[in-house]
Amino acid sequence: MVGKNCFAIASDRRLGVQLQTIATDFQRIYKVHDRLFLGLSGLATDAQTLYQRLVFRHKLYQLREERDMKPETFANLVSAILYEKRFGPYFCQPVIAGLGDEDKPFICTMDSIGAKELAKDFVVAGTASESLYGACESMFKEGMEPEELFETVSQALLSSVDRDCLSGWGGHVYVVRENTDVRCIFKHDHSDMILLRSIKYIEKELNMLL
């Protein structure tokens, strides 16, 4: 989800095989560089393999160009790699979020063969995508500051995963502005999901960093 010169990316922490829960601390969000993050939902082994290939290609780009890859360029790279495997695809759905020129947020998602879906407000992926669409549509508004964006994304994630039996067990939220990213972890207290750190503390931390 995008805000005013910032963006937030969030995911749950459950790793499971259908209704069987394997782990409750699984990481789905990966940091490519300070201004670019990648979320991968789907088959865990394919997601990790795809991430390793993308890190390899990004490092080659850094060596050749002596700069970090722009979000739009990285999205094209992900799309090309996925389409390359279209007859035996990676079973994952990427979400790409980054800051481009003049700190303009860029977000996009794509299917397992690399068909991109661009948006100016928010994108969703995974098993809870239907409930996420509804929550994000009702809570999103333009021009949100990092503090308000964090609260909006957190509440959208909380309300959505509660409506999907294949998601949950906490979550990760990253709020990124310029070269600063703040990470928050949710945990599960057996009845509902609560913040590991309060929203007021996050707001205070953001204000100190900005």
CB 169 within 8 A of CB 186: no
pLDDT of 206 reads: 59
pLDDT of 101 reads: 85
Residue 138 burial class via C-beta count within 10 angstroms: exposed 0-12, middle 13-18, buried 19 and up: exposed
Q: What is the 3-state secondary structure (H, E, C) of 101-159?
A: HHHCEEEEEECCCCCEEEECCCCCCCCCHHHHHHHHHHHCCCCCCHHHHHHHHHHHHHH
CB 20 within 8 A of CB 178: no
CB 25 within 8 A of CB 145: no
Report helix, strand or coil for 162. Answer: coil
Average pLDDT taken over every residue of the chain: 86
pLDDT of 209 reads: 58
pLDDT of 67 reads: 92
**Distance, CA of 8 to CA of 97 (rounded, Å):** 8
pLDDT of 205 reads: 59
Give the amino acid at 170: G
- Under the phi-then-psi rule, with left for phi > 0, alpha for psi from -120 to 50, and beta for the rest, what region is 3? beta
pLDDT of 106 reads: 94
Fold held by 2-207: Glutamine Phosphoribosylpyrophosphate, subunit 1, domain 1 (3.60.20)
Which stretches in the chain have pLDDT values below 50?
189-198
